[in-house]
Structure 1
Amino acid sequence: MHLLAFFLPVCISLAIMIHNDVFPFGENCILHIDMYHQYAPFFTELMDKLKHGESLLYSFQIGLGSDFVSLFAYYLASPLNWFLILCPKDYVIEFMTILIVIKIGLCGGSFAFYIGKHFHTQDYMASLLGCFYALSGYMAAYSWDIMWLDCLVLAPVIFWGLEILVKEKKTGLYCISLGIAILSNFYIAIMICIYSFLYFLILFFEEKENFRGKIITLGRFALYSLLAGLMGAVLIIPEAIILSYSGSSGFSFPEGMEMYFDLVSQLARHCFEVEVYTGRDHWPNLYCGVGTLLLVILYFMNGKISWKKKVVRVLFIIFFWFSFSNNILDFIWHGFHFPDSLPGRQSFLYIFLLLTLAYEAYHKREGSETYHVLFALALIWGFLALCAFVVNVGMVTAESLLFTGVLAGGYGALFFLWHLGKKEWKKAASLTVAALAVMEVYANFSLTGFDVTSRTAYTKNWDSVKGLLREVESMEASQFYRVEEMERLTKNDAALYNYSSSTIFSSLMNIGVGNFYRKMGMEGGKNFYSYSGSTPLNSAMLSVKYLISKSPYETSPLRTLAAEDGENYIYRNLYTLPLGFMVEEDFESLWAPQKGSPIYNLNRMVYCLGAKEELLTPLSGATTVEDQTTKIHVKEDGYLYALYGDKSAPVITVACGERTRRFTKCDHGYLLDLGWFQAGDTVEITNTSKVEDLQVTPYVLNLYALGEAYETLNRQTFEPEYFSDTKIRGKIRVDWPGNLILSIPKEAGWRVYVDGEETECSTFMESFIEIPLSEGEHEIFLSYRTPGLILGAGLSLCGIGIFGGIFIWKKKYEKER
């Protein structure tokens, strides 16, 4: 049964992938949303670290620098990910694809395991319902979210462990499986813990024990839940500390209660072929089989099931309904935060509950009467008719309602036949139910799950870019420099190509850096910051020395060509600084950049650095607008930038002759780097959203002001003599006292030594490491250790030690008895 429950969803998943031409059966892959933008780069970085023996504490290939332990805990902590060390370097996508398929199969197997243990039986229905658990609407929506799937596999095991903890006083399975879930993904584990607590209350009051026994059971549950949490502390504590620097730090409890949607519209999400939802409007993905709905109704009508048990379960179901649509419960379920898209992340627990009740209705089917089936069908059809009048057709289509009704009728007829028929008829009905269920789950997952994209398009630049980077590295004498892209695939390309950059997309991103970027006219947000919008001075301060482009036209007074292969080009920025540079002690207070005023902030900065003119000056009267196209008429040679007032267009294209630049995510609002133009050129700016007037304001870069400001920063710099992910060493000559600014996010974990003595450093612009230095020559040494790692490891060892000590004591006690 367990093997069937594993292989059935695996075979269905593989069949769908083959149908969708997923590599190696075609040129597609299942990279989707965060799997495309985050998991593929982060898996690649983990693989590189494992294969090359690099530190797992920190990485300069993710943003300006990121703690890797917390990133591992958040994205990569599945025990199966360690097999990356065996993965060929060009097949990380396939490694993740195989893992997803395996975890889908394990979900089916673990559900069948729970059913077998809970009901003391093994039959094909457990495998079928396990298939619906493995290929539910939740999985169709979030199968790409590979970091969550371990918890879906472990959930049925945890709940069986909880049952034997209460009923048989056996504690090991619950504690160990919950501990592994917490280590694998603490976020989904929070939801499992909430469900476990609620389910424990049900078991606690249903179990017949005396007062003393109940107190002991309560203590046992509390103790082993705490031990499971302690086992996960080695990752939880570092992750919590690093999260405190992110846009997800802190929480604000909702001030009032709000309901997102009506119950009918919510329950319609159970229908066959309902499009999965991953946006911000809170709709949960609830599909778990049309036959499941029929069986759940039969469960509550079954004469062999206690009415007290039914009352508790129906209240549990209603609680879930309320949780999906109520803002306060939604906030609590999601770890005291509102999810930024990807809603209803706890709905797999609701699906598990329904499927368990469905199996019990099947298991005790002798308690169902023929008219029960007719009533259940009438109820489903009546609900579908109501949906046709109430539900937004954009969420649930008429086709979906129709097919759901037909499937319900098919299952109802087969159940009806089973009740009335002879032994041969019952066998035929059972086989037909199995075939119908497999076809249903295959069709639903094929229509709603596994979005694909071109693998060829995702990987086509890998060899070219990596080859050019190796060429540049062979020419470089510097221990450290950063590289950026003009046309990036993702905001984590640095991890894909193994170079240091100044761009990131991660939930663990330092929000202070994002805020600083926005003040400088660059792209920044809650969980991302990007080089887009950078000026030569910003770029220099971030130590960006090289720029990757597909265009052969980027040579200018700002950069020269360093390497090219006809497909990609790498340019060397002429204005660049090493990792650190000096500013005066009062520079930050004199500069005082303002939110929402990037041009003012950039011009104010160069004045504070000794420039006598503005960095960016407006080109008055140079623009015209006609037919949704903004034209800039260039009168003098110069390097141009532009701000735009209308941010409703996500994509903006800039063209002049054969040169074209395409800017994406323009709704984030950043300075457009238009490029170098000559007198007489006409620059055309268009957008894909057909916005009539983007309200473009062009600016010209003042090379004289840039040179003055750059020379000030370049007079006293810190060039590392030794550089690794966790250790940096170098010297600097200081001619006047001030602050050394390192373009590394200031976070707990970095220890700074000046001339051999540990020095307390501060934070520059709420983002970077700032070290006060006196006049003279100084040796600087920095070392990194993940904050909270030692404490977390100690607590985890304590948890394991206490668990092991109790286990040994119990075994010894039982032997003596």
Structure 2
Amino acid sequence: MKKIPKFVIPVTISAIIFLLAGLLTGTNPYFGGTLNSGDILDQYLSFFQYLHHILLGNLSDFSYSFANGLGGSMAGNWGYYLLSPLNFVVLLFPAAKVNLAIYTIILLKIMIASGSFYFFAKSIKKVPESWAMGLGVAYSLSAYVLSYFGNLMWLDAIAFLPFIVYGLLKIIKGNFSILYVIFLAITIVANYYTAYMVCVFLGAFFIYQAFLEFTNWKAFWKSARLFIISSFTAGLISCIASVPTFFNLLENKLNYHLLVTPIQTKLLLSVLPANFLFAGNRLLIPLVYIGTLATLFLIAFFFNSSIALKQRIASAVFLLFLFSGLFSTKIYLLWHGGQPPQFYPFRYAFIIVFTIAYLATISATTIQISKKRDSYIYNACFAVLILIYLLVSRKLLVIETNTVIATIVVFILAVILFNLYLHKLIKPKWLALFIILDIFANTYYSYSKISKNVTPYNPYTEQTAALLSKLPSSAKNQRLDKSFLINNDRSDSYLLNYHGVSVFTSNNSIQISALGGLLGLPSRGYYTFYSTGTQLTDAFYGLKTFIKTNRPSDFKGFYNYGLRNDLIGSKIWYQDKENTAYQTQGFPLAFAGYRVNNLNLKENEPLSNQAKILNALTKNHYTYFSKAISAQETSDNMTLSHEKKQLILKQIKPQKSVVTFSYKAKPNTSGYILMDPSLMSWADYNDKLSAVDKITLNGQAFRTTPVSLQPIGVHVPANGKVVLKLYFRENITQKSIIDPKLYLLNQKALAQVIKIAKARRMRINIWRGNLVSGNVKIKDGQALITTFPYTKGWSATANGKPVKIKKVLNSFIALDLPAGNYKIVLRNEMPGFKLGIAISLIGIILLAIEVYFFKKRKS
């Protein structure tokens, strides 16, 4: 019977720890737990449903998908989220179990990371087998992985980095490494973002290691040429993914700059020691914890006289370079490709984790007492670390007492074991056992802190899918959206394969999001959420159905936003005890209208902006809203005063307050109250940041999101009274908000403009991701207007002849055509995809030549 390969041991241990910790903390979906890490609930479950659709043959949505909000290029989403080679695991699971598929993919990446670091560590001279195994487990379940495993597209770089560096070390010694080329290419394909960080690291690591290995310039230039050629080859092979992604980034992400929070170096350095010790899982600082023993051996590395002074100094400089993001905002941005990370800072920290594991491995292999004072130096450094943690980091981070005690206990045990090993009183296997137990404890601790306030994925998916299945097919032949979501995932259109408006992806069209914000939607940067649409935005976006629910947010992941009471009285597609699917009236997907771009849309004037767009596209001058109706304002604990468009509220006593706005309006009409975004919050974890405990409209509690001035749908009852109440928290001593005015909707004017647009519609024959075709009549001065966004890759023909694509509202596809009847065909091909394939083939041929050349040269 053959022996089990030794790499299986750390791989198995990592898997057991991950699965067992998840089981014990309720985060293992194999046993009924719910995944809740990173953006897994907000984005990736939906993206993997999209992947499932594509892999099962829905290839028309490969390059451009109408499930991507109003429609959008998918190249960036493929390059960022979906190209990991392990993602094909999704085919092994039914669509309803995609959460299990994702968990399995995460598990496999963790196992590969454990095995790959073990493989790498074993290549270092004199490394004990058990220590390589222990650090393999620690590397695969570092604090970075534990905190970010939900962003599973980042894990490929962690899993493959040890293979890449192993190959790079061979290159530095003057040997060609096919392992380096292949795994670097896979890493770039899997996720361009972390691959960028890896490439920066590899360049620095080459200089660092080449300096240590330097013998003469001839040998250096030989290895440098080999490094450049190998890296270039890997880059060529990856072009099938990187070229289309780059074209997409040029259109979107690289043209959008988020606000940057400056790096606070002094604070970061003061609290950093906490993340080098047990329970070091604080997200605001680099996640570098891979076991207390690894930290101790890292410190010892720089005082270990068995290691050449040159190597220690070079390693210190190299490590300082990796930590450079703590010292400068510009360098921090450089590490992240020029874009400031949102919510997950120091994303490049996984390369610091690898370097710590690498240096700790060398340290444990070479450490010995050459002088009696060595032991005192090591322990003095350890004492300084724990003192900084206790006196500075603990207080600044407000770490709870139980965690501090646990950290001290683990630290003391680690120091004892370190000294026993230093004096050769124990074998390396005891160090490995301790670091494995340490990692298991930290994994359990990390997962126990994960919020359980989430809705189980499968029931929500099944219930929502069942709801949509009850709608007639005609309700879904245009766009559909809704007021509720699960765990802030605004991409249910991916999940359930329908055409919507809401979307959340870091490769979203910035122009479309900005336009949505000007129209009063919670829409900014990378997302659009259609919770506060109006009947005018229903018309503009071509919405056929809007689903609202009376199910309240239950603070377990299900959230009901907006109100849309303006739809009361509209026709209903379907209704049950909890849900109502309204029949909304929208413009056609494409129609003969008028191309406009510069409408001078203004911030905080959403209703005016909506009216401008509808009139401009149809060349009309309808008035869609009444003049502002002011409320009678009263409060039980605040003085109220007006200053321009602002309402100033000042607390009288330090207690909760209620402000009431009473409106009188025409009975049985619809309208909108413009609500200041500072009164709102995203979800339960942000509730305390809101100024109010609750908001009610005619006694009905509701919530919306803290993004843009939003119109809240109102139905004026038969008594003509509308009452808005704001329940302020007791800590709100003074506040200024935009005065909430009521605007009634002119239903007749809206119906007339919709009728005009429908009469000019393009009769659609085909509507899918890469192809839209139909017939339309164009009159003098008109253009074909569409309500789906333009991206590079679209081409158009009219009656078989190519037509140049223009834009309407600086965002959507439009065609300028002479008067006449036309058969329109719009096609989409992913920009750069064919070019990327061609370059990748060249890269593969080049790799084959290199393998042949270096193999022949070696023989």
Q: TM-score, normalised by structure 2?
A: 0.87
- 1:72 aligns with one of 53, 78, 88: 78
Q: Answer yes or no: is 1:404 the counterpart of 2:407.
A: yes
* Cross-structure match for 2:353: 351
1:342 CA drift (Å): 1.0
Q: Answer yes or no: is 1:288 the counterpart of 2:290.
A: yes
3-state secondary structure, aligned to 2:397: coil
CA distance in structure 2 between the partners assigned to 1:34 and 1:155 by the alignment: 23
1:290 CA drift (Å): 1.3
CA distance in structure 1 between the partners assigned to 2:63 and 2:479 by the alignment: 20
The one-character-per-residue Cα deviations of 1:765-792 (angstroms, maximum 9, x if unpaired) are 1211111122221111011100111111
CA distance in structure 2 between the partners assigned to 1:192 and 1:308 by the alignment: 25
Correspondence list, 1:483-502, <5 A: 483-489=480-486, 490-502=489-501
- 1:19 aligns with one of 8, 15, 24: 24
CA distance in structure 2 between the partners assigned to 1:248 and 1:645 by the alignment: 31
The one-character-per-residue Cα deviations of 1:283-330 (angstroms, maximum 9, x if unpaired) are 212222211122122222323211111111111122233333321221
1:447 CA drift (Å): 1.7
* Cross-structure match for 1:520: 519
- 2:131 aligns with one of 95, 111, 125: 125
1:760 CA drift (Å): 0.7
Q: Answer yes or no: is 1:158 the counterpart of 2:158.
A: no
AA in 2 matched with 1:165: I
Q: Answer yes or no: is 1:134 the counterpart of 2:111.
A: no
CA distance in structure 1 between the partners assigned to 2:727 and 2:312 by the alignment: 58
Correspondence list, 1:197-596, <5 A: 197-249=203-255, 259=265, 261=267, 263-277=269-283, 283-367=285-369, 371-391=373-393, 393-395=395-397, 397=399, 399=401, 400-420=403-423, 426-427=426-427, 430=428, 432-449=430-447, 451=450, 453=452, 456-475=455-474, 480-489=477-486, 490-551=489-550, 556=567, 559-573=570-584, 575-585=585-595, 587-589=596-598, 591-596=599-604
Q: Is the 8 A contact 2:522 2:532 kept in 1?
A: yes
AA in 2 matched with 1:240: F
Q: 1:408 to 1:389 in 2, by over 3 A?
A: closer
Correspondence list, 1:646-795, <5 A: 647-650=678-681, 655-656=696-697, 659-663=700-704, 665-675=705-715, 677-686=717-726, 695-795=739-839
Q: Answer yes or no: is 1:618 the counterpart of 2:616.
A: no
Q: Is the 8 A contact 1:645 1:696 kept in 2?
A: yes
3-state secondary structure, aligned to 1:227: helix
1:486 CA drift (Å): 1.5
CA distance in structure 2 between the partners assigned to 1:338 and 1:555 by the alignment: 39
Q: Is the 8 A contact 1:284 1:344 kept in 2?
A: yes
CA distance in structure 2 between the partners assigned to 1:540 and 1:304 by the alignment: 75
Q: Is the 8 A contact 1:112 1:126 kept in 2?
A: yes
Give RMSD over aligned pairs. 2.9
Unaligned runs of 5+ in 2: 1-5, 552-563, 637-656, 683-691
1:118 CA drift (Å): 2.5
3-state secondary structure, aligned to 1:159: helix
1:11 CA drift (Å): 0.9
3-state secondary structure, aligned to 1:628: strand
Unaligned runs of 5+ in 1: none
CA distance in structure 1 between the partners assigned to 2:491 and 2:727 by the alignment: 25
* Cross-structure match for 2:9: 4
CA distance in structure 1 between the partners assigned to 2:372 and 2:83 by the alignment: 50
Q: Is the 8 A contact 2:716 2:722 kept in 1?
A: no
Q: Is the 8 A contact 2:37 2:149 kept in 1?
A: no
Q: Is the 8 A contact 1:370 1:416 kept in 2?
A: no
Greater displacement, 456-465 / 256-265: 256-265
Q: 1:370 to 1:62 in 2, by over 3 A?
A: farther
3-state secondary structure, aligned to 1:393: helix
1:454 CA drift (Å): 6.0
3-state secondary structure, aligned to 1:720: strand
Q: Is the 8 A contact 2:770 2:829 kept in 1?
A: yes
CA distance in structure 1 between the partners assigned to 2:375 and 2:224 by the alignment: 40
The one-character-per-residue Cα deviations of 1:708-741 (angstroms, maximum 9, x if unpaired) are 3323333311231112211111001224431222
Q: 1:247 to 1:302 in 2, by over 3 A?
A: closer
CA distance in structure 2 between the partners assigned to 1:452 and 1:404 by the alignment: 22
Greater displacement, 717-726 / 633-642: 633-642
CA distance in structure 1 between the partners assigned to 2:259 and 2:611 by the alignment: 40
Q: Is the 8 A contact 1:73 1:235 kept in 2?
A: yes
CA distance in structure 1 between the partners assigned to 2:259 and 2:542 by the alignment: 40
* Cross-structure match for 1:642: 673
Identity over aligned pairs, percent: 22
AA in 1 matched with 2:678: K
> How many residues matched?
800
3-state secondary structure, aligned to 2:851: helix
AA in 1 matched with 2:703: R
1:365 CA drift (Å): 3.1
Q: Is the 8 A contact 1:246 1:526 kept in 2?
A: no
The one-character-per-residue Cα deviations of 1:151-205 (angstroms, maximum 9, x if unpaired) are 1001111101000011141231111111111011111111111111111112222
Q: 1:170 to 1:44 in 2, by over 3 A?
A: same
AA in 1 matched with 2:802: E
CA distance in structure 2 between the partners assigned to 1:392 and 1:516 by the alignment: 45
CA distance in structure 2 between the partners assigned to 1:19 and 1:6 by the alignment: 20
Q: Answer yes or no: is 1:597 the counterpart of 2:597.
A: no
* Cross-structure match for 2:663: 633
3-state secondary structure, aligned to 2:671: strand
CA distance in structure 2 between the partners assigned to 1:558 and 1:765 by the alignment: 32
Q: 1:468 to 1:318 in 2, by over 3 A?
A: closer
CA distance in structure 2 between the partners assigned to 1:689 and 1:244 by the alignment: 45
1:337 CA drift (Å): 2.4
Greater displacement, 380-389 / 44-53: 380-389
AA in 2 matched with 1:631: F
1:238 CA drift (Å): 1.3
AA in 1 matched with 2:828: Y
CA distance in structure 2 between the partners assigned to 1:174 and 1:290 by the alignment: 31
